Structure 1
Amino acid sequence: MAMNINNINSNRNNAIDNSRQQDRSRVSTSDQSAQTASTSAPQDSVMLTDQARQLSQIEQGLKQSSGTDNSQRIAALRQAVSDGSYQVDAPRVAQKMGSMEEQMNTLYR
């Protein structure tokens, strides 16, 4: 029994070529539609909320601040923590956390 093995993969190769051609045509069509949409689309606009304006003002203030040098204070704290002499003032920490919470609540009202 003889088998004809010539062009055994021709159908498969044709299917792959057709698929590639379809992909190329889809890409070029989507590129053209994207270009058309970008030329005819109206300009976008942005409106900032009061909170965003406040945050922007705070950011600008921080950028303009002198930025104090805390390296000596940080070194002293590291030393105190490493030798075990650092004491946490729990009431002060709680008060500062409550104060920060109040400030955050005013931003989101």
Structure 2
Amino acid sequence: MGMMAPLAAPEIDERTDLDPADAIDPGWQTVVWNDPVNLMSYVTHVFREYFGHPLDEATRLMLCVHHDGHAVVSEGMREQMELHAQAMHDYGLWATVRKVPAP
């Protein structure tokens, strides 16, 4: 998505001692991160094709990725968020799963 300053490493949840309750906890997010490879039009296309977002929402999320370095593209149960992150990887985007931050 163009030339940008280096990004801070995202927080990646790599715990191996997950509580089984996490599987049904809806408090997880899929986060897509900016990268120097994918065009903004491609990221918008992925958000439209995979998540079914209308053009304006897909564009808003893409601009968050571009300007803020990342965007939360989905929230829900951990297993579903992991599937979304894997799908983003399959499209060539950089995505991670994280617990919803405390308010």
Select the structure of larger CA radius of gyration.
1
The alignment's TM-score, normalised by the length of structure 1, stands at 0.20
Q: Relative contact order (C-alpha < 8 Å, sep 6+): which is higher?
A: 2
The alignment's TM-score, normalised by the length of structure 2, stands at 0.21
